[in-house]
Structure 1
Amino acid sequence: MAATTFQTSAIDTLLRFFSSVTPLSPHAAAAICNCLVLEKFPRKHLLQQQQRMATHLYIVGKGMLRSFYRHKGKEVTTALGLENCVICALDGLLSHEPSFYNIETLEESEIISIAFSDLEALYNDFHEIERLGRLMITRYYLEQEAGLRSLRFKTAEERYRELETTNPELLQRAPLGYLASYLGITQATLSRIRSRY
């Protein structure tokens, strides 16, 4: 009974989120539900590994995900996601080649996944799901672009203050080292900025 309640609650929340992006008919919502898999994972579990094929999109039901890559012995955090955030290795999904990114849990997490092949089949069957996918990818792209502009044109303190405004919960929950990497600054710089607020 607990597993059923857990699954229903997380997927209902996700469907409400999808419906806030674009309306879905009951038939389309049911078709999406049939393709969703909800699982619990411990902290530091790798869902996607760098240089492996990407096959799924991941939505945070509860917990936190991080996307990162390893370069010259260092880990670079490219995305941090809390509840209802979609994280995927989009480069691998779209190119059908091994991905440049890792995706891992940073907390004990409830993760909803959908196979990209299932999603493409849903796009063919339901115009409204295709629209949802397009809007979600557009949102994802715009967030990535905003992040790149921020790294290029804003100071470390401006980037921190922006995150404080747009996603304050992330500042409370994300480990300091990963947060610093995500902001493109050193941990020492982040500590100095935080000490001023």
Structure 2
Amino acid sequence: MTIDNILDNIYPLTETSKQTLKKYIDEVSYPKGYILLRADRIEKNIYFIKQGIVRAYTKTADNEITFWFGKEGDAIISMKSYVANQKGYEDIELLENCKLYELKTQNLRKLFDEDIHIANWGRRYLEQEFMKMEEQLISRQFRTAKERYKQLLKDNPSLIQRVQLGHIASYLGITQVSLSRIRGEI
């Protein structure tokens, strides 16, 4: 996915503003298994996925709990680092070799001050992210595991072929055995 497509999917920018923003974006590549963001540090970059898939997870004493998957077109950001300039609570692992677009947070903040179109683009991005988080929270609270799995299949059918079932089970809040049973029923 091109950076133009990603930026436009968030919120259309004027051509001048888009070109200004793109001057601060670099393309980077990292291998499968690479930990892009770490929970124990303040992250200074935002990424957009050109190619590949990632997961966000948090660690407990004896487990890793996956709570988000990102794929082509999605942004990767530690909201706690971005908003509060504090250490994030999540690790982001690349589940495939990934090509990413990288944007330094300090540059984006500078552009927000200089260009109202870019500031509105950033506001729109955060609004979309808050809606996604709300939908996920509601899903976890009010849907059964089977309903959550069916919704995942509907929203992200390719995810099942690209992500280990253990990560999917963790994302759904169930064991891998329960996921196998649900898959057998469908």
Q: What is the rounded CA distance, in whole Å, between the counterparts of 2:12 and 2:148 in structure 1?
A: 34
Q: What is the rounded CA distance, in whole Å, between the counterparts of 1:196 and 1:120 in structure 2?
A: 49
Unaligned runs of 5+ residues in structure 1 are: 1-9
Name the residue aligned to 2:10: 21
What do residues 93-112 of structure 1 show as CA deviations (whole Å, max 9, x unaligned)?
A: 21111111111110011011
Instruction: Please say if 1:152 is aligned against 2:141.
Output: yes
| 1:114 CA drift (Å) | 0.9
User: Do 1:92 and 1:100's aligned partners in 2 also have CA atoms closer than 8 Å?
Assistant: no
Instruction: List 4+ stretches of structure 1 deviating above 4 A.
Output: none
User: Do 2:52 and 2:72's aligned partners in 1 also have CA atoms closer than 8 Å?
Assistant: yes
Among candidates 61, 82, 86, match of residue 97 of structure 1? 86
| 1:131 CA drift (Å) | 1.2
User: Do 1:67 and 1:87's aligned partners in 2 also have CA atoms closer than 8 Å?
Assistant: no
Aligned residues: 186
Give the share of equivalent positions with the same residue, in percent.
Answer: 28
TM-score by length of 2: 0.94
Among candidates 104, 107, 124, match of residue 113 of structure 2? 124
User: Do 1:88 and 1:103's aligned partners in 2 also have CA atoms closer than 8 Å?
Assistant: no
Give the letter for the 1:134 counterpart: R
Instruction: Please say if 1:164 is aligned against 2:153.
Output: yes
User: Do 1:68 and 1:79's aligned partners in 2 also have CA atoms closer than 8 Å?
Assistant: yes
What do residues 137-187 of structure 1 show as CA deviations (whole Å, max 9, x unaligned)?
A: 111111111111111111000000111111112222111111111111111
Among candidates 47, 52, 57, match of residue 58 of structure 1? 47
Give the letter for the 1:55 counterpart: K
Are residues 68 and 126 of structure 1, via their aligned partners in 2, closer, same or farther at CA, if it must alter by over 3 Å?
same
Instruction: Please say if 1:31 is aligned against 2:20.
Output: yes
Between Structure 1 and Structure 2, the one with more helix by share is 1
Are residues 69 and 150 of structure 1, via their aligned partners in 2, closer, same or farther at CA, if it must alter by over 3 Å?
same
For residue 76 of structure 2, give the secondary structure of its aligned residue in structure 1.
strand
Name the residue aligned to 1:47: 36
Name the residue aligned to 1:4: none
